[in-house]
Amino acid sequence: MFGRWERTIASFAKKASPARQLSGALRTGLICSLPVSLVLFATAGGAAESRDSAASKPEFGPHVLIFDPSMPAAEIQAQIDKVYAVEQKAEFGSERYALLFLPGKYHVDVPVGFYTQVLGLGASPDSVEIDGNVHADASLPRNNATCTFWRAAEGFSVVPSGGTMQWAVSQAVPFRRMHVRGNMVLHQNHGWASGVWMSDTLVDGNVDSGSQQQWISRNSEWGSWTGSNWNMVFVGVSNPPQGEWPTPPYTKIERTPVVREKPFLAVDAEGHWNVVMPTLRTDSQGITWHGGETPGQSIPLKNFYIARPEADTAESLNAQLSKGKDLLFTPGIYELDNAIQITRPNTVVIGLGFATLRPIRGTAAITTADKDGIEIAGLLLDAGPTQSPVLLEVGQEGSKGQHAANPICLHDVFFRVGGAGVGRAQVDLRINSSDTIVDHTWIWRADHGSEVGWDKNLSDNGLVVNGDRVTAYGLFVEHHQQFQVLWNGNHGRTYFYQSEIPYDPPDQASYTSAKGVDGWASYKVADGVTSHEAWGLGIYSVFLHNGVTLSRAIEVPHSPGVQFHHMITVALGKKGEISNVIDDRGGPTAIQPRVAPKVTEFP
């Protein structure tokens, strides 16, 4: 968001030595005299599968740390601090970590840095309790959290020191299946923040959004909510805040039409490791775990092939899929010379610690067949140096299957083009399969970092939807060079949309979608679509060059079945404008005085 392009990115090379030192310490088991049984080591044979024994722990490798409540708190704290020393400033770094807490109580402070996932391993969030701080802090000066990306807290309870948990974040930060036994603030001393996502979460006290520009909460509960800015969306929330759009800018959808919560790791009372596949819910409100556990099916971890970045290739991973295995990616960067091909129904592919898939030869990273029940969760897909036609393709072109009873689901699957290095992709995510559910994504063409520029990190579209009845919750799509979203299928639904259009078109001629139309609409519903609905959309501009404008933020056909609710546009930079919010409605943005047009209903 605004302000990213102003600051200097610290070179990750300066952080490489501590990361290597930490990895080495973990591999040799020297970190704080941690017992070998509690640090999971790499095996010489490469990716390892879990042994069929309740007593044995899976071999996740050196970047997954498993904590046991019997360990001294000082030992746990020392490991957490060493991970944070690597990840605190490593916005485009190469290290990835997952911190796993077995059921029990812990007295530690957990700062959550880049590419760090903190997970509780209980069937309920209350199975793991952290008494102390768990916090995400602003990564830029002056309490600026607009670049506090790529980190996660999932599946545990927190008793925050002082009574309030700080979670100052922006895009690609899942906060799922959490219980905050106190209050929660979504900012750091009211500095800038541009986030993000909460689901299946209970906060006993107040949630203060403060300076957050936007936020989506799905199927969550709290004592109270305070604060608003531009676009705050509540879906399936049992106690949403009082007030109505546009003042305050609250969009409230009473019940969530259809969703399956994200699969999660859990260890049962006998020590068995499983991946829990939550039950599909329709017309739901509130959290899943009021009864103590999230209802669902437990899949033994032995059914998963545990992938390792130093050992696995697309060929080895596809071989495991062909044997009927599911996939669990341990933290790291996987350079792929071909696409991972998911062909079986009900295949589960999950990542720990922001496991990153990077196609290096111009292929997709993942393709799927048009099959029921495929689950993909917790991955970062990073475009490689040779342009890929697509990074993730769900179903083949022309897919005709119907999957309403057992939909394909994408949870916390993130996309990046450039920023960490050369990256190019024509389309990031293309959905051909009908009834697909997108449950939180950030699809980002980088606006800062390495190899960033109009002729460098190339990407036409973030999301293209060809299937019917596709539903998206928490859709963040930014900076692509044509339509950010192109929706061709019928009966699509979007609950919350956040988008910055590209900063860097060098001139209007380079940024023109049709005769007489300046720029490319951020959200485009194709002319032939007769049914589409969206709630809570915020679209923003930060043009860096003079003489560049956008005619309309949202472009849709005029059909009674195409309906949009609660839209806002804001100019964050001093150049150019967005001339209308949706088609010819809304009027232009302005900086002096600030004008942020809103449209409540369309048509």
For the annotated catalytic residues, the residue numbers are 500
C-alpha span between 181 and 200 (Å, rounded) = 15
Nearest to 535 by CA among 495, 569, 507: 495
Q: How far is CA 274 from the centre of its chain?
A: 23
- Backbone φ, ψ for residue 77 (5° rounding): -60, -40
SS3 302: helix
Q: 386, 358 in Cβ contact below 8 A?
A: no
Q: Could you write out the DSSP letters of every residue in 88-153? A: SS-TT-S--EEEEE-SEEE---EE--TTEEEEE-SSSGGGEEEES-EEB--SBTTTB-TT--SEEE
Answer for the pair 578, 543: CB distance below 8 angstroms, yes or no.
Answer: no
H-assigned helices in 166-255: none
**Cβ atoms of 280 and 274 closer than 8 Å:** no
CA-based Rg of the chain, rounded to a whole angstrom? 22
CB 256 within 8 A of CB 239: no
SS (H, E, C) 438-451: EEEEEEEECCCCEC
Of residues 216, 211, 238, 237, the one with CA closest to residue 226: 211
Quick one: tokens of 541? 């501009």
- Token readout for 340 is 């991972």
